A and B are shown apart, each in its own frame.
Chain A
Amino acid sequence: MPVLAPLLTVRRLSLAFALPQGGRASVLDGLSLDIAPQEALALVGESGSGKSVFALALLRLLDRHAEITDGEIRIEGEDLLHASDKRMQDLRGKTLAIIFQNPASSLNPIRRIGRQIADVLLAHGERSADAARRRAVQMLARVGIQDAARRANAYPFELSGGMKQRVMIALALAASPRLLIADEATTGLDVTTQAMVMDLIHEQARANNMATLLITHDLALAAERCDRIAVIHAGQLVESAPAARLLTAARHPYTRALLTATPHAGSTLANLRAIPGQAPDTAAADLPACRYYARCDRRTELCKSLPPMQTASSNGAHVVACHHPL
């Protein structure tokens, strides 16, 4: 396989939230991640793992309680953390785009959907309002909205959930980004709608040579739809591997536990197991070096004090951060 220069490089990214009652919560801890051009990567984690914060950090859309304490983010070689606000505005949409879980609240309720897409086009260099409107209709047709010329005049409330998510995708794709981030974009949708939306994202990614970052809690969805999966637990990346390998040959105890907790077509109740305990409070002063420590059945004293050791397969495709991997 040809080695491509990564599209996105994240190195040792650490991020903390200032808490209202004082103190800080370490939300991301030394996260490193690459996405190759046209690659589909899934970032899988449970609620509170920091996966959505990571997406917002990539777009620099964090609120002011959040502070990036260490690390760097580069997209196509450009340093994102030190880019000017003006430059960031340009990059959002044109290079990086995101679709969120709740399309209903991400669309402007009082503006026709065609107009909203045209707005994005106009913000990213399109001069003529007429041309923008025509392209907006094309975009809607491309994401599978039938009778797009008429539907472009619809308001968001006139559309179903799956339809709104299609509009969100059209919006995100309007300025032909290099990387599309889908943050729980199909959570809460019916499985049949989810399948359609995921198919659409996949098609569009292939047609536009776009990389995708799928942020999800659903390992099965990640495995089916992505080339590679990275697993995050309490702000730490614990393992990343090609999708099928992660599901069949996981090496991190947390990934293994997550797999045995996920019901799938081959599951029986007997082989389904919960993960004991819960993720640690990231505001605690005495966080162990490996944040899975308290829940782990392979822990030793080492895991408490020494940051987890990174081990990679020979081709570097399978990386695990653990002192005692399986």
Chain B
Amino acid sequence: MTVLFQARGLRKAFGNGEHRRYAVDGVDITVAEGEALALAGESGSGKSTIGLIMARLLDHDEGEILFDGQEIGKCSARRAAQQPWRAQIQMVFQDAGGAFDPRLSISDSVALPLRRLSHSRGNALTHAVEDALDRAGLAGHLFRRKPHELSGGQLARAGIARAIALRPRLLILDEPTAALDVSVQAGILHLLNELRRDLNMAMVFVSHDLNVLRVLCSRVMVMEHGNIVEEGPVGRVFASPAHPFTTRLLAALPKWPRSEGLPHQLPGSALIIHSQ
């Protein structure tokens, strides 16, 4: 296992004076090359803040951040755009619609990072944009559309296309499917898994939805009040949680009846079909 990303002792506070509160309070994270890591927690747990800090869109107060062995946490988020590692750490946002400039076509938006960070021009640029959109499974006739002309699922694919266009080595995804219907979500989950495998990208999934994290990730970190309370392989943590908070989180999930036996079966409802 090669370590790709490492953060130690991360802290981040919001507010002033007596309202000052640590959203992230001493967190260590290690992400291996090509790994799928889950960051689970409820609203206000600090998981989204960590996502933004990892993507270097938000400054942290304390702690160090290493990417590929290089310290990148000293450079402020304001100056991150000009750094050589910018192309290698990308992010996908929850609100895919809001993450696209309403004035630009989808392909222009996807072209922007390629133009700015890999300095592609002309045919090479067009080709790279179309390749990314194809990989994300967006139909060709949608490339020139404006964001408001796309459905939620199509926008999610476009957002992923933009993030992978630069072939980043680390992709942060903040609730990438929370706004989608399950019928669409399943397709996006498959897409993300394939992209991770094919492009050998490490992915960090930030989500409150344990069932989504379960199918997508191999390792999970559970957050509560700015702290990581439990960490381990997804299968083990979900099957036998050690921390009471994780136990509570799992217990609150709606139960799915097993296919054998019908626990709530009403008396006398044996199924006999009328053929009318």
Contact = CB atoms under 8 A, between A and B. Distances in A.
B83 interface: no
Given A47-B181, A261-B182, A245 B265 contact: yes
Contacts of A191: 42, 208, 210, 249, 252-253
Interface string A236-267: 00000011110111000000011011111111
B187 A274 contact: yes
Contacts of B152: 47
A261 B188 CA distance: 11
Interface string B234-276: 0000100000000011011111111100111111111111111
Interface stretch (B55-63, B69-77, B98-106, B211-219): B211-219
A4 interface: no
A192 B254 CA distance: 10
Contact of A263 (B211, B249, B257, B266): B211
B270 A242 contact: no
A268 B42 contact: no
Given A191-B42, A225-B254, A245-B265, A313 B215 contact: no
A324 to B, nearest CB: 13
A274 B190 contact: yes
A191 B41 CA distance: 10
Interface stretch (A89-97, A202-210, A314-322): A314-322
B211 A264 contact: yes
Interface in A216-246: 217-221, 223-225, 227, 242-245
A190 to B, nearest CB: 4
B269 A245 contact: yes
A312 B274 contact: yes
A110 interface: no
Interface in B95-152: 151-152
B3 interface: no
A263 B254 contact: no
Contacts of A269: 189-190, 193, 215-216
A167 B275 CA distance: 49
B81 interface: no
B262 A244 contact: yes
A32 interface: no
A265 B212 CA distance: 10
A9 interface: no
Given A258-B183, A274-B184, A313-B269, A195 B215 contact: no
Interface size class of B (residues with CB under 8 A): 35 or more
A208 to B, nearest CB: 22
Contacts of B251: 195
Contacts of B259: 248
Nearest to B268: A315
A311 interface: yes
Contacts of A314: 270-272, 274
B186 interface: yes
Interface centre among A257, A265, A318 (most CB of B within 10 A): A265
A257 B182 CA distance: 10
A313 B259 CA distance: 20
B200 interface: no
A46 B183 CA distance: 8
B251 to A, nearest CB: 8
Nearest to A245: B262
Given A263-B211, A278-B151, A245 B271 contact: yes
Nearest to A274: B187
A40 to B, nearest CB: 11
A312 B193 CA distance: 40
B30 interface: no
A248 B256 CA distance: 10
Given A269-B215, A274-B187, A274-B190, A317 B256 contact: no
Interface of B: 42-43, 151-153, 181-190, 193, 208-212, 214-216, 238, 248-249, 251-259, 262-276
5 contacts: A244-B257, A264-B211, A265-B253, A267-B211, A313-B272
Given A263-B182, A278-B184, A311-B275, 17 more contacts: A1-B267, A191-B252, A191-B253, A220-B211, A224-B254, A225-B254, A227-B264, A258-B183, A261-B182, A265-B214, A265-B253, A274-B187, A275-B183, A275-B184, A312-B274, A313-B274, A317-B266
Report the 4 A-B pairs with minimum CB-CB distance, sorted nearest first. Answer: A274-B187, A275-B183, A264-B256, A190-B42
